[in-house]
Amino acid sequence: MNCEVNWLHQCCLNRNTAASPRQLVLKFGCSRNQRRCNCTTALPDPSLADLSPCFAVVAFHLGPWCPLTRMRLLSPPTLQPLWGWRSRSERSPGSPHLPPLGSASPMELSPAVGGRGEAGLYSTSRHWAELCGAGGPAWRAALALPCLPSSSCFETFETFQVPSFASEIFVSFQFRCFELETWLKRNTQQNFAQPYQISGCTSLIPEAKAVLDLVDTCPKHPKKGDFPVIVIEGLDATGKTTVTQSLKESLNAILLRSPPACISQWRKTFDDKPNHIRRAFYALGNYLVALEIAKASIESPVIVDRYWHSTAAYAIATEISGKVQNLPPEHHEVYQWPEDLLKPDLVLLLTVSPEERIRRLKGRGLEKTKEETELEANSLFREKVEEAYKRMENPECQEVDANPSREEVLKTILQLIKNHCSS
C-alpha cells in the first residue's frame, strides 16, 4: 500500500527560538500497518529560502520493534552525504552533536552512483538483529546532506522511499544552519573554506545586489596614507564608541567604523540572515571601510571603531560550538589578517570585567543585535569572542584594561598610540 504523507501539514517551523536559532524541523510519520511510505516533496514555504545554502540532517529515530530492512534516499549524484549515529540514551533533541565521520556504525552508506544518484542508508538484517533485539535501545541515525540554495534544497529529497516497513517510524528533517556547518567543517577539514560568498544570495536577498554593485566600484588594493590608522576593538559596551569619539577630538582624527555608513542601511536585513550570509556582509564592510581609510589617512590620523578582528572573532566564536578549547589552535589561518585587506598600524582591544560590561550595557539600554543578546546570555560565547580576538595575528590586538574611568582609559590609549606611532 502506498501512502502519501502530507508532511507539510505536520511541518513544525521552529526557527529563531532561543534554544536553536534558525532550526527548521519537519516531521512526518506512518502508522503501524502502512507498508510503504512515499513522500514527494516540493516545499512552497518561501521562508525556507533564507535557510540555505545549508545542510539537511535526516534523522531516523528507530524503535527496537522496527523491522526496517532498507531505506533509500535519492539525492543529486554530486552530493556526498555524511552520517553519524547514536543511541537514544545519548540523544539530546536540541543539539545533534553527531559523532565524528567514520565512527563505527551499524549502517552502511552506499556510495553515490550515476544518473540522479542514489545515496542512503542501508542496514542489513544482521545489523537490525543486533540493533533491534528484544529490549534493545532505540537508535538514532543521522545523515547530513549538503543542500542547494532556495527551495531547491528540498528537491534533494524529491523522493524519499522507505520501501518496506510494517511498523512505526518517525523521521525528522532538521535544517540546522550553523550546528551542521560547524560539524561538517570540523569533520571534513573544510575549515572556513567558503564562508564569505555573498554572490549566490542575490536572488534570495535583493539587497545583496546593491551591496555587490558597491564592491564593483572598489579598487582592488587600496594603499594607506602616511598618517597612523588605529583600530579600537572589544566586546559590546566595553567603551569603544566613547573612546573613539574622544580620540577623534584629542588627535584631530577622522573617525570611521565598520560596517561603514554606505551599507549600514542594509545591516538590519543581513543581521537577520543565516550566519554565513551575515558574515559575508560584515566581511565586505571591512573592504569598503578600507577604501575610506586609504583616503582619510592621506589627510589625518584615522580611528576605526571595529574592523576585521571583530568580523573574524565573532564569526569564529559563532562557528565553534562548545568550549573555548574547541577554538582552532593558535596560529591557525582563521586568525590571520586577509592578505588583500589594508592593514592598520595599531589594534587596541578594550577589555572589561563581565560585571562592569553588564553595568555599562544596562546604563546604555539600546536595542540589541543577536550577537549582543548572545553575549549577554552566554558567557561561553563571550569568552570565545575575547579569546579569538587575543589569538588574532599580524596585526595582533594589544589589550587595554578599559575598567577604569573614561579619562584614564583615554590617557592609557593616547600613551600607547604615542609609543607606537610616533616613529
Ligand X SMILES: Nc1ncnc2c1ncn2[C@@H]1O[C@H](COP(=O)(O)OP(=O)(O)OP(=O)(O)O)[C@@H](O)[C@H]1O
Site of interaction with ligand X (CB under 6 A):
234, 236-242, 360, 363-364, 402, 405-406, 409
Comparing CB distances to ligand X, the nearer of 269 and 369 is: 369
Q: According to the binding rule CB under 6 A, does residue 311 interact with ligand LXEULUCI? A: yes
Residues 6+ apart with CB under 8 A from 391: 327, 330, 331, 332, 335
Distance CA 256, CA 233 (A): 13
Residues 6+ apart with CB under 8 A from 414: 247, 250, 251
Q: According to the binding rule CB under 6 A, does residue 306 interact with ligand LXEULUCI? A: yes
Comparing CB distances to ligand LXEULUCI, the nearer of 119 and 316 is: 316
| CA Rg value for the chain | 25
Interface segment toward ligand LXEULUCI; rule CB under 6 A; list 143-151, 156-164, 307-315, 390-398: 307-315
Task: Say how many C-beta atoms besides its own lie within 10 A of residue 26's C-beta.
Answer: 24
- Residue 218 has phi, psi (to 5 degrees) of -85, 135
Distance CA 275, CA 178 (A): 7
Q: According to the binding rule CB under 6 A, does residue 238 interact with ligand LXEULUCI? A: no
By a kind-dependent CB cut-off of 5 to 8 A, residue 276 interacts, out of ligand LXEULUCI, ligand X, none, with none
Comparing CB distances to ligand X, the nearer of 221 and 359 is: 359
Least CB distance to ligand LXEULUCI at residue 101 (A)? 29
Show the binding pattern over residues 272-291: x = contacts ligand LXEULUCI (CB under 6 A), - = does not: ----------x---------
Of 233, 292, 371, 386, the one binding ligand LXEULUCI by CB under 6 A: 371
Q: According to the binding rule CB under 6 A, does residue 23 interact with ligand LXEULUCI? A: no
Question: Are 127 and 31 contacting, i.e. CB atoms less than 8 angstroms apart?
Answer: no
**Strand-pair partners of 62:** 139
Interface segment toward ligand LXEULUCI; rule CB under 6 A; list 81-89, 247-255, 367-375, 410-418: 367-375
By a kind-dependent CB cut-off of 5 to 8 A, residue 146 interacts, out of ligand X, ligand LXEULUCI, none, with none
> Angle at Cα 41 formed by Cα 38 and Cα 46, nearest 5°?
160
Comparing CB distances to ligand LXEULUCI, the nearer of 292 and 371 is: 371
Q: Is 202 exposed, middle or buried (0-12, 13-18, 19+ CB in 10 A)?
A: middle
Of 278, 296, 36, 274, nearest to 169 (Cα)?
36
C-alpha cell at 361: 550595557
Q: According to the binding rule CB under 6 A, does residue 244 interact with ligand LXEULUCI? A: no
Comparing CB distances to ligand X, the nearer of 237 and 251 is: 237
| Chain position carrying cell 574622544 | 246
